[in-house]
Structure 1
Amino acid sequence: MPDPITHVLVPGTFDPITYGHVDVVRRARRICPQVTVAVAESLGKNGVGTTFSLDERVSLAREALLCEGLEDVQVVPFTGLLVDLAREVGAGAVVKGLRAMTDFEYELQQADLNYRLDADLESIFVMSSPQYGYLSSSVVRQIASFGGDVSEFVTPNVDAALKDRFKER
């Protein structure tokens, strides 16, 4: 029988982290005693760069999780392959949130690739809580870029960072 999984990764770009992401992290923490949020560099996300730098996204995620009572969750930046990071930190699984069928198709492809690279790395999917099923970082960024109120979608530190980032528009 394989060893039980005691450490999981919750990877993503987190540009920026939203309450939907926080919900997935909280649920991963219920499943497993050790959770690491892995913030991907994602240089070419959707053909453009990210709104926030890697260091900013790591900092925003750390503060958001702390604000939400998840101080025992580690947040780390990473570049390269997720399977390499999992080996490096000793994580036995990846936890991803699913909002819709399109998320499932993309995440299934990623899980299949990860399996081919490391058959011991499990993929765990959690369904989005209904109140976050529509929520994505790109929607939050778009609303914020037009001066809209995103405070119900993100923690106060992220709300402030978005206002600051888009204030000149």
Structure 2
Amino acid sequence: MTVVDVRAAANNGTQQAMERIGFYPGSFDPVTLGHTDIIARVCRLVDRLVLGVGTHDAKRPMFSPDERIGMLRGDVASIAARTGTTIDIVTFGGLAVDAAREAGAQVIVRGLRDATDFDYEMRMAGMNGEMAPDVETVFIAAGPGVRHVASSLVRQIALMGGNVAPFVSAAVAQKLAQRVGG
């Protein structure tokens, strides 16, 4: 078998390969095992992953941006170490596509749990593609064990005194218990 390195042939070997940067936006309120499943799988595809913590107050977050960053940092440290991927965490208050561009990302990563997510995310990808044709949207299907997990449901379960351990890391479960007084 003959293998030709097209990148090297295209630039006569004079240019280094571009760093592959992904941008994964979300509220992460709180970060769930569904989020970390997507993050771990995306890290196999990119050199650097920027996690964008949305700060849209209209969503009435349970945790402050700093608290969400802290929970994310704790939950993704082992993923970064295991995959060798650089993971950065930023906040953003505007459009995700603008934050992705600011981060230097070539791709916006979106997790899909079901057909409802797909329909919504396809419309968003179309809008983002119009605003930033140089930024591609990549969909990652949630793993079978976490397809049912949603931050909003985790918050609701915690507020009603339920067990959130199957849906979040132990550290996040502890933060939720502290927040709701349990």
TM over 0.5: yes
Q: Which consecutive aligned stretches of 4+ in structure 1 deviate over 3 angstroms post-superposition?
A: none
Structure 1: distance between partners of 2:145 and 2:69 = 25
Q: Which residue of 2 aligns with 1:28?
A: 42
Secondary structure of the 2:43 match is helix
What are the within-5 Å matches in structure 2 for residues 42-61 of structure 1? 42-45=56-59, 49-61=60-72
Shift in alpha-carbon separation, 1:125–1:5, aligned structure 2, 3 A: farther
C-alpha contact (below 8 Å) 1:9/1:95 kept by paired residues: yes
Secondary structure of the 2:29 match is coil
Structure 2: distance between partners of 1:69 and 1:98 = 20
RMSD of aligned C-alpha atoms?
1.7
What are the within-5 Å matches in structure 2 for residues 145-160 of structure 1? 145-160=159-174
Equivalent in 86, 104, 128 of residue 90 of structure 1: 104
What amino acid does structure 2 have at the position aligned with 1:139?
L
Secondary structure of the 2:152 match is helix
Secondary structure of the 2:167 match is coil
Flag structure 2 segments of 5+ consecutive residues without an equivalent. Answer: 1-6, 8-16
C-alpha contact (below 8 Å) 1:5/1:92 kept by paired residues: no
1:107-162 Cα distance to aligned partner (Å, 9 max, x none):
11111111111011100001110000111001111111111111121112211110
State the percentage of identical aligned residues: 37
1:82-116 Cα distance to aligned partner (Å, 9 max, x none):
22212222100011110011101111111111111
Secondary structure of the 2:39 match is helix
Q: Which residue of 2 aligns with 1:109?
A: 123
Secondary structure of the 1:154 match is coil
Asked if residue 125 in structure 1 is aligned to residue 139 in structure 2, the reply is yes
Shift in alpha-carbon separation, 1:13–1:116, aligned structure 2, 3 A: same
Q: Which residue of 2 aligns with 1:65?
A: 76
Asked if residue 79 in structure 1 is aligned to residue 93 in structure 2, the reply is yes
Structure 2: distance between partners of 1:34 and 1:7 = 5
What's the offset of the Cα at 1:17?
A: 0.4
Structure 2: distance between partners of 1:74 and 1:105 = 29
What's the offset of the Cα at 1:4?
A: 6.1
C-alpha contact (below 8 Å) 2:31/2:151 kept by paired residues: yes
What's the offset of the Cα at 1:69?
A: 3.1
What amino acid does structure 1 have at the position aligned with 2:80?
L
Structure 1: distance between partners of 2:116 and 2:109 = 17
Flag structure 1 segments of 5+ consecutive residues without an equivalent. Answer: none
Q: Which has the larger radius of gyration?
A: 2
What amino acid does structure 2 have at the position aligned with 1:53?
S
TM-score scaled by length of structure 2? 0.84
